[in-house]
Amino acid sequence: MPELRRNVLDLTHADLSGLMAGWDQPSYRAGQVLAWMYRRFAGSWDAMTDLPRALRARLAAELQFTVPEVETERISADGSTTKALLRLSDGVTVETVLMRYAATERARARNTVCVSTQAGCAMACVFCATGQQGFLRNLSAGEIVAQVLHFARALVACGEHVTNIVFMGMGEPLANYAHTLAAVRALQDPQRFGLGSRHMTISTVGLVPQMLRLAHEGLQVGLALSLHSPYDDARRELVPTARYRIDELLAAAQEWAALTGRRFSVEYALINAVNDTPQQAEALAERLRGLSCHVNLIPVNPTANARTPRSRRARVLAFEQALRELGINVTVRVEKGVDIAAGCGQLRGEVEGRRPRAASALTLAPPGDALPAVSSA
């Protein structure tokens, strides 16, 4: 069996510098390679024309440099959301989404990429299409970074760049802790994307040891805790793999907030007549009172699961109002890409269900006033 070559996207800047030093290359070579990959978006070693031919040949022989194949890609009717299904080198597919937000009086324009950290997911949330597909494997840091690179390439063609990352795609990021953190550091690296850690958010259904570990990393990455219910029993109906009680989760999130000086967000997927009653709003407010947090209400995405219909608009607004009146910071997340199956796992479910090979070239609509403004944190 041939030896698997390392993927250059998995190497840190220090790894690449060490490799170049070991090959008796000048110290600036690592920077040159990174600039080709992340500033000039070269698609192959051969495109890196100011590297000596012999070095390019050695790089090609010893390192893999492959960008994921686009299985299919869809753009929402308003042009603000693009969802790609990417096929990785071993054939598994993962979803990644670009959400473009126009500038408002209070916020600059943003290009947010929602990345997957696992192929599939073992958490089995009943309202999530990915959760119904099971778990395949963890993604490497390079495979997470490749998703950002995919959209960065497309954006540069319209003079824009990626500004924010949310680790909210397929998978539980904290169950793939080492690779998720390595991806965060790669995205921070000034020679790669140079993104501030405040511009990234990691979501979790609540793995307490990893949340506490994250709190001690010295990073300013945001934390989003997916709660979905104020009651342990009811939460376990929605997140059957939940291992920790809500009070344990909130204590860990509050410790994270105390150590980072940031508010955490509480994600709450609203399901009609399941978790959106006035009593639940009251119980949630009781749980969150005094904590350093902000609630994001998310009308659950339509999936094949008839048990989890999305809350009707009036119920969403009533739930929001009730929380606000009880002194909780709350917003309803602006929905994006519903028309292109942008809910987690929906596109993969559709495509893998019928297995077409419909690769498409990505063309982005120019950003403009038509893009919806964001109202959630």
Q: List, edge to edge, every strand of the sheet that includes 164-167.
A: 69-75, 81-87, 93-101, 110-114, 164-167, 200-204, 222-226, 264-270, 293-299, 330-332
Q: Using alpha carbons, select from 226, 281, 219, 284 the residue that is nearest to residue 253.
A: 226
Question: Which is nearer to ligand SF4, 37 or 184 (by Cβ)?
Answer: 184
Active-site position among 114, 128, 293, 344: 344
Give the interface segment with ligand SF4, choosing from 42-50, 106-114, 125-133, 182-190 (CB under 6 A). 125-133
Segment 14 to 73, residues that bind ligand SF4, using CB under 6 A: none
How far is it, in rounded angstroms, from Cα 195 to Cα 94? 23
128 scored as a contact of ligand SF4 (CB under 6 A): yes
Quick check: 246 binds ligand SF4 (CB under 6 A)? no
CB of 31 to ligand SF4, least distance (A): 36
Q: Is 171 in the site for ligand SF4 (CB under 6 A)?
A: yes
State the Cα–Cα distance between residues 33 and 42, nearest whole angstrom: 9
> By rule CB under 6 A, what count of residues binds ligand SF4?
12
Q: Which is nearer to ligand SF4, 124 or 285 (CB)?
A: 124
- Round to whole Å and give the CA distance between 270 and 284: 13
CB of 269 to ligand SF4, least distance (A): 8
**Alpha carbons 92 and 131: distance in angstroms, whole number:** 16
- Give the residue, chosen from 170, 271, 274, 322, that forms a contact with ligand SF4 under the rule CB under 6 A: 170
Q: Which of 71, 73, 95, 320 is catalytic?
A: 95
Q: Which of residues 318-377 bind ligand SF4 (CB under 6 A)?
A: 344
Q: Does 121 bind ligand SF4 (CB under 6 A)?
A: yes
Nearest to 273 by CA among 316, 216, 323: 316
Please say which residue, 48 or 295, places its beta carbon nearer to ligand SF4: 295
Is 158 tagged catalytic?
Answer: no
95 is catalytic: yes
Q: For residues 144 and 137, what is the distance between their CA atoms, to the nearest angstrom?
A: 13
Q: Which is nearer to ligand SF4, 131 or 367 (CB)?
A: 131
Q: Give every CB contact of residue 376 below 8 A, 6+ residues apart in sequence.
A: 296, 331, 332, 333, 334
* Chain residue whose CB lies nearest ligand SF4: 131
Q: Which is nearer to ligand SF4, 34 or 175 (CB)?
A: 175
**Smallest distance, ligand SF4 to C-beta of residue 147, A:** 15
DSSP state of 366: P
E strand or H helix at 31, and its extent?
Answer: helix 29-38
How near is the Cβ of 34 to ligand SF4 at its closest, in Å? 31
Q: Please, what is the minimum distance in Å from the beta carbon of residue 174 to ligand SF4?
A: 10
Tokens of 357: 């090979």
CB of 106 to ligand SF4, least distance (A): 29
d(CA 141, CA 28): 24
Position 125 contacts ligand SF4 (CB under 6 A): yes
Judged by phi (left if over 0) then psi (alpha if -120 to 50, else beta), residue 273 lies in: left
Q: DSSP secondary-structure letter at 237?
A: H
Give me the active site residues, please.
Answer: 95, 344
Binding footprint of ligand SF4 on the chain (CB under 6 A): 121, 123-125, 128, 130-131, 170-172, 205, 344
